[in-house]
């Protein structure tokens, strides 16, 4: 059985993951509207990942005898000044999610919930990858000045990303 404190914190994380999914789908629409279909694709795949993350938490709560509670999703931004600004927001958002996951881990440690600590380690590792991916794209956008041929080449590269449910594969 899971403690109420851990259950409440995981429920907040489910909402945060779904908000992240909405954010990335909104960004996908933004990139599509300015003709960057590769960036739109990257964000759509990210949307799918965030939904998978929320379901991993959702299923975990059920497995531990908890009750997932789906709260209202707050509005997400809909416009950005340029492609670089949008990805800088991705980078900041992933840092925020890392802080949320770390807080969740702190609660699990405080509650001496070893099963939740074990499950959360996957998310700790995942956030390292999420932040690194966002940083690499921000760095590339800055390198090309966020426009021109470099932007189009990066757009082509991002079009190649495909969704692979990260929650079903084991991480080392």
Q: What's the helix, strand, coil split of the chain in %, to 5?
A: 75, 0, 25
Provide the whole-model pTM: 0.92
- Within 10 A of 114 (CB to CB), how many other CB atoms are there? 10
Residue 84, H or E segment: helix 83-110
Q: What is the dihedral of CA 154, 39, 168, 65, to 10 degrees?
A: 140
**Which domains does the chain possess?**
4-164 (1.20.1260.10)
Residue 150 to residue 43: CA distance in whole angstroms:
19
pLDDT tens for 41-89 read 999 999 999 999 999 999 999 999 999 999 999 999 999 999 999 999 9
* 30-34, 44-48, 161-165: range with lowest mean pLDDT: 161-165
pLDDT tens for 105-147 read 999 999 999 999 999 999 999 999 999 999 999 999 999 998 8
User: How remote is the C-alpha of 42 from its chain's centroid?
Assistant: 12
pLDDT of the residue at 171 = 44
């Amino acid at each position: 059985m899971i403690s109420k404190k851990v259950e409440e914190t995981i429920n907040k994380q489910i909402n945060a993951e779904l908000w992240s999914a909405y954010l990335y789908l909104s960004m996908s629409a933004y990139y599509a509207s300015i003709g960057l279909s590769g960036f739109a694709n990257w964000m759509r795949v990210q949307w799918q990942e965030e939904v998978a993350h929320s379901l991993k938490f959702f299923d975990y709560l059920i497995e531990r005898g908890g009750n997932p509670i789906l709260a209202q999703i707050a509005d997400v931004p809909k416009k950005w000044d340029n492609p670089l600004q949008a990805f800088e927001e991705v980078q900041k958002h992933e840092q925020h999610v890392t802080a949320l996951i770390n807080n969740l881990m702190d609660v699990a440690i405080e509650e001496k919930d070893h099963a939740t600590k074990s499950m959360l380690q996957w998310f700790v590792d995942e956030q390292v990858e999420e932040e690194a991916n966002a940083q690499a794209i921000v760095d590339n956008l800055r390198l090309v000045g966020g426009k021109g041929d470099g932007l189009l080449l990066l757009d082509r590269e991002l079009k190649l990303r495909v969704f692979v449910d990260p929650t079903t594969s084991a991480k080392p």
